[in-house]
């Protein structure tokens, strides 16, 4: 099956109130074409799961500035003042999650696990309202898994089957997200015929990827 398509076709299923995971770290490894398409579609009340909200004029920050996000689950927001403003004015719900915990919650969602146990956050505001367990005399938080309707990824290279290769730090959260969403769409810089990628270089196997857009 050839998974290569257009931005419009790949994203036509994204509607209001959709939950979307988006790759990237401060805009590095973020699928900017998909962000721009979401702004153009003007879908609203989105729940976004990502590492951060980048900057007001870059990456996920564009969705925040356009007030398309109802809730965002991220590890930090410090580089985007508009995120903080909307959080403080209660225009948008922000759930702050320690970065390692965020990664493990996504991993748990992709693996079908019921959650992860971590000592991170014990005795802080992070623990508010969460179940705790004591194991071998040490207290842990139960952090529940994260899943999404869509995952939007940015990869360096792909073939028509959807096998993905990433480049350096642009890899970041992208491979994790590919396992934890119902529909996975990848924006790629290079598209090559099937068989032209060394299997040892594949980070995300094509079985996880539904659509590919070259951009």
Contacts of residue 18, Cβ cutoff 8 Å, sequence gap at least 6: 43, 46, 47, 149, 150
Model pLDDT, residue 112: 95
- Closest alpha carbon to 73 in 108, 37, 46, 97: 97
Asked if pLDDT for residue 1 goes beyond 80, the answer is no
pLDDT over 90 (residue 21) = yes
Using one digit for the tens of pLDDT, what is the confidence trace for 161-211? 999 999 999 999 999 999 999 999 999 999 999 999 999 999 999 999 999
Q: What is the per-residue pLDDT for 125? A: 86
**Confidence band (pLDDT; 50, 70, 90) for 215?**
confident
pLDDT tens readout for residues 27-37:
899 999 999 99
What is the tens place of the pLDDT at every residue in 106-160? 999 999 999 999 999 999 988 989 999 999 999 999 999 999 999 999 999 999 9
The closest of 68, 60, 69 to 94, measured between CA atoms, is 69
Q: Per DSSP, what are the bridge partners of residue 212?
A: 4, 186
What span, in angstroms and rounded, lies between the C-alpha atoms of 141 and 119?
Answer: 6
Question: 48-104: per-residue pLDDT in tens?
Answer: 999 999 999 999 999 999 999 999 999 999 999 999 999 999 999 999 999 999 999
Instruction: Determine contact, residues 211/186, Cβ cutoff 8 Å.
Output: yes
- Cα separation, 1 vs 3, in Å, equals 6
The answer to whether the pTM exceeds 0.85 is yes
Q: What is the pLDDT of residue 133?
A: 94
pLDDT at 154: 97
pLDDT attached to residue 118: 96
The mean pLDDT value for 6-18 works out to 95
Going along the chain from its start, the domains and CATH numbers come out as 7-115+144-214 (3.40.1080.10)
Q: Are 191 and 212 in contact (CB under 8 A)?
A: yes
Confidence at residue 2, expressed as pLDDT on a 0 to 100 scale: 76
């Amino acid at each position: 099956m050839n998974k290569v398509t257009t931005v419009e076709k790949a994203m036509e299923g994204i509607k209001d109130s959709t939950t979307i995971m988006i790759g990237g770290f401060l805009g590095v490894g973020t699928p900017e074409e998909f962000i721009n398409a979401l702004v153009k579609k003007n879908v609203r009340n989105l729940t976004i799961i990502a590492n951060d909200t980048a900057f007001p004029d870059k990456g996920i920050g564009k969705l925040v500035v356009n007030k398309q996000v109802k809730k965002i689950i991220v590890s930090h927001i410090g580089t985007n003042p508009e995120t903080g403003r909307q959080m403080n004015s209660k225009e948008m719900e922000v759930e702050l999650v320690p970065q390692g915990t965020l990664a493990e919650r996504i991993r748990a969602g992709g693996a079908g696990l019921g959650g992860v146990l971590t000592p991170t956050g014990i005795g802080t505001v992070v623990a508010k309202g969460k179940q705790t367990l004591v194991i071998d005399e040490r207290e842990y938080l139960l952090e529940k898994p994260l899943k999404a309707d869509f995952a939007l990824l940015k990869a360096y290279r792909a073939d028509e089957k959807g096998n993905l290769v990433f480049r350096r730090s642009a890899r970041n959260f992208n491979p994790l997200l590919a396992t934890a969403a119902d529909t996975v769409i990848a924006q790629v810089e290079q598209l090559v015929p099937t068989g032209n990628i060394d299997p040892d270089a594949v980070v995300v196997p094509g079985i996880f990827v539904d659509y590919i857009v070259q951009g």
